[in-house]
Chain A
Amino acid sequence: MKTLAKENCPLLPGCKSVCVAVLCAVAAGALFAQTKTPAKTWTSPKTAWGDPDLQGIWTSDNSFGVPFERPRAYGNRKSLTDEEFAEREKENKLLASSIEAGVTPKAGYWLQHEGVDYQPYSASWSEFAHQTSRQTSLIVDPEDGRLPALTPQGMMLRMAAIAAARKKPRPESWEDVNMFGRCITRGVLGSMLPVMYGNGTDILQSPGLVVIRYEMIHEARIVPIDPHDHPHPHLPAGARTYMGDPRGHWEGSTLVVETTNFIGGRVGIGPDGAGVKYSEDLRLVERFTRMSDLSIQYEVAVSDPKTFTASWTVAFPITEEPGYQIYEYACHEGNYAMADILSGARAEETKEGVQPAAK
């Protein structure tokens, strides 16, 4: 520690002792810091009233392209190898550069639909990963990253649904279109999983409340926060909603949201609410943990003993991306596709001389 000569003291005359004291403190602090950790560690931000701060507009875009269920070839491996990662990064970069150039990308969703005359979505609406994910799947538990087996009842309902769909070569009414196609809901998990656009989640907080608002389909879940040992009871069993009834509490800096009271048998548990339909016994336990200024780790444990033989967990980060905004998604108001799909089906039937539906 260097002693400061009187003539070098930047403060007023007579304050040399202050300078020395300040320099001593600074030097001591520097020495102390050097013996502990060199860098300043990140601390999780807090709201003005002292709750962990999860607020912001978050997107799952960086997990777009990660399979929901792990392909069997990966076995129990949770992460890609460096080679596999490089492949995925290459595809993400191709997607990104095509979209940014306004050119139909030759990757992902676009490849699956190549050769189809009518491309339904402009590449300019498409979202894509800015940072490539290393995950082999979004499902992280069970070990194989795949959905557990269905219960006998779950299997029966699934087979019946598939058989009924096979009997109808074309949708007879809106009831033959899925709940997202009808612009009703994608369900809670379906609203978080990344798809090709509309992956925005807006989190707002006020004392005692956290609101999770999705861009698609503009639903807002109002989560009351209670002390863990004194939770607000859920709605009675007869009161059910598509987004369920959430209750939240803090575990350290993690927001835990427990949701029950779902309407069962209508919405699937996968991306956009597709896939196996969950029952009214669905119970979700979500965990939101701020990992940095720009990311939250999202985790959801799914339990539905009527449908699945075991619980399973999905986890991936949601991130803040520069310039990412949430816009009004007037799904139902703009659902011209429904009238087109149904009227088109009727026109085809007329052309084929198809008989009216059996009563």
Chain B
Amino acid sequence: MKVRCISLITGGAWLLFTLPALHAQAYRAPRGADGHADLSGIWQPLNTANWDLADHSPQAGPMWQTGAIGAEPAGQSVVEGGAIPYLPAALEEKKNNFASRRTNDPEAKCYMPGIPRANYMPYPFQIVQSPRGILFVYEYASANRLINMGKPVEPVSDTWMGTSNGHWEGDTLVIDVTGFNGLAWLDRAGDFASDKLHVVERFTRTDRDHLQYEATIEDPSVFSRPWKISMPLYRRVEKDAQLLEFKCVEFAEELLYGEYKKK
């Protein structure tokens, strides 16, 4: 009897130790209709990467007239391994961008945000996995992009949202994006890239309500080496969550064309 009790206790202890480890080992996402990990749903970042990819303290925004509402909150860097590795001339351009951001940030003009910025704008986006490819629909500015999941295609022209070719590596969706027009910024702090930009993204579902998003950014005319950002994305879990519209052109027209208005 004593022996059995001991084995029960040790057996139980073993289970207590290993079960959590087994659970943490690998979350296996449910399968989508395409047989791959199901990444579908409405997702949104919960950080301040869109203000500034690097570490940032709270500071005044570009317009004092909006008081604390327009001010920049504090945030931790999403850049792995330190500062963004600008080439010297490019760093000057980033500083000029920052100084002129109120009027020159493409976000202020309601221009399409490009990749990777579309994925960390403070608006939800929806992933739809279909046999024709994986569609990302962004609430901001009605932007969207269709990820080609077949044989990779070359960009037919330079675009704001780039040309996305995707494939699966296990349960991670890997997207290779090229064909940018070099006009989008990477955040509100003036971080930018040229039309040589090449982004490789990785989306991995880590549990029911989170995706891990990573993007490697490469542009030999702006940066001295490739660099990487990473962040979690959070599912919008409200019962009737749906994308609405943020058609911001109307809010940008005064900024863009005010000087041509009849006085």
Contact = CB atoms under 8 A, between A and B. Distances in A.
Chains A and B come from one and the same complex? yes
A95 B155 CA distance: 29
Q: Interface size for chain B: under 10, 10 to 19, 20 to 34, or 35 or more residues? A: 35 or more
A241 B262 contact: no
B128 A222 contact: yes
A55 interface: yes
Interface of B is mostly: loop
Contact of B135 (A220, A327, A330): A220
Residue picked from A48, A183, A220, most chain B C-beta under 10 Å: A220
A211 B244 contact: no
Contacts of B142: 217-220
Contacts of B245: 241-243
B131 A55 contact: yes
A172 B261 contact: yes
A55 B130 contact: yes
Contact of B253 (A55, A174, A325): A174
Contacts of B256: 338-339
A211 B144 CA distance: 12
B242 A356 contact: no
A327 B261 contact: no
Interface of A is mostly: loop
A17 interface: no
Interface in B111-162: 111-112, 126, 128-133, 135, 137, 141-144, 146, 156-157, 159-161
Interface stretch (A19-27, A201-209, A281-289): A201-209
Contacts, number: 115
Given A182-B249, A330-B159, A330-B160, A346 B262 contact: yes
Contact of A55 (B32, B132, B160, B263): B132
Interface in A177-228: 182-185, 202, 204-207, 209, 211, 213, 217-220, 222, 224
Contacts of A48: 33, 131
B111 A333 contact: yes
Interface in B229-263: 240, 242-245, 247, 249-250, 253, 256-257, 260-263
B261 A173 contact: yes
A110 to B, nearest CB: 25
A209 to B, nearest CB: 6
Contacts of A49: 33
Contact of A220 (B33, B144, B160, B257): B144
A47 interface: yes
B40 interface: yes
11 contacts: A173-B253, A183-B249, A205-B131, A207-B33, A213-B144, A218-B142, A235-B244, A241-B244, A328-B159, A338-B256, A345-B262
Given A173-B260, A207-B33, A357-B262, 5 more contacts: A56-B132, A217-B142, A332-B110, A339-B260, A346-B262
